[in-house]
């Protein structure tokens, strides 16, 4: 199985400041068709996960542009340009290039 | 608007069976694979399995932890996906989520508790 490793696991951030989460996979997530199968989700307290980013850097419908994704191969980053109070929750990366789909452990973002 | 509504979660004894349903709306259900994920309360996310669209054979894939015990099926005429769970174990206790083929739309989840 592909192992997804996120850092940090806890991220205290002051509103208005930037935040960054790293996600590393044990195998390349690049498919032969050129797509990289890396997703970022945010799970707010008491809610199901919501998709933020797909294919490394594409924002899902309705996602604010303060969220951005980057990376390639096995090394990926989610950045929030200016954290807002509503961004609190647990962030997960996920790969779907190989079965079973696997997630990172989650990064809990909290407001300072 | 895409909506996915899970139902069927409950308290069940170990070794028993349960069937979850996921009723979809707002998209052409037949065209998409449908997935199930789960989450032990307070823990991380786990992929359970998916069913491909009929156009792609309607075949299924499962996580090793549920293979041989769980089965996913679909009723395209009513836009419903099912998760049949047999030989349930205490470690199957989780919130079960139905997810569309894009992996972008998730239901609110339904809680399955396996306990004697």
List, edge to edge, every strand of the sheet that includes B11-12.
B11-12, B110-114, B94-100, B34-39, B45-51, B60-62
The closest CB to that of B63, out of A39, A54, A100, belongs to A100
pLDDT at position A67 is 98
pLDDT at position B59 is 98
> Which helix (H) or strand (E) covers residue A22, if one does?
strand A19-25
Q: Which residue has the tokens 């079960």?
A: B96
Residue range A10-24, pLDDT digits in tens: 999 999 999 999 999
How many CB atoms lie under 10 A from the CB of residue A74? 19
Is B103 close to A51, i.e. CB distance below 8 A?
yes
pLDDT at position B64 is 98
Count, residues in chain A: 112
* Cis, bond preceding A8 (omega within 30 deg of 0): yes
Chain A residues with CB under 8 Å of a chain B CB are 39, 41, 43, 47-51, 54, 60-61, 92, 94, 96, 99-103, 105-106
**What are the structure tokens assigned to B71, written together?**
């089965």
Average pLDDT along chain B, 116 residues, taken 10 residues at a time: 97 98 97 98 97 97 98 98 98 98 96 98
pLDDT at position A94 is 98
Residues of chain A with pLDDT under 50: none
CB-based burial label for B6 (10 Å; 0-12, 13-18, 19+): buried
* Cis, bond preceding A100 (omega within 30 deg of 0): yes
């Amino acid at each position: 199985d592909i192992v997804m490793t996120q850092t940090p696991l806890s991220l205290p951030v002051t509103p208005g400041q930037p935040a960054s989460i790293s996600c590393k996979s044990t195998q390349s997530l690049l498919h032969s068709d050129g797509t990289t199968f890396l997703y970022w989700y945010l799970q707010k307290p008491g809610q199901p996960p919501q998709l933020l980013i797909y294919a490394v850097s594409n924002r899902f419908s309705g996602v604010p542009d303060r969220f951005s994704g980057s990376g390639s191969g096995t090394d990926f980053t989610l950045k929030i340009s200016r954290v807002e109070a509503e961004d609190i929750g647990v962030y997960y990366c996920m790969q779907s290039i190989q079965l079973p789909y696997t997630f990172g452990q989650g990064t809990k973002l909290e407001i300072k | 608007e895409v909506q996915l509504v899970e139902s069927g979660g409950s308290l069940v004894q170990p070794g028993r069976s349960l069937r979850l349903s996921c009723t979809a709306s707002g998209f052409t259900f037949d065209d998409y694979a449908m997935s199930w994920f789960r989450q032990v309360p307070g823990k991380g996310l786990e992929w359970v399995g998916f069913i491909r669209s009929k156009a792609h054979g309607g075949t299924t894939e499962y996580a090793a932890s549920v293979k041989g015990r769980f089965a996913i099926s679909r009723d395209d005429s009513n836009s419903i996906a099912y998760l049949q769970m047999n030989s349930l174990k205490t470690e199957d206790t989780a919130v079960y989520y139905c997810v569309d083929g894009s992996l972008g739309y998730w239901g609110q989840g339904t809680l399955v508790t396996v306990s004697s």
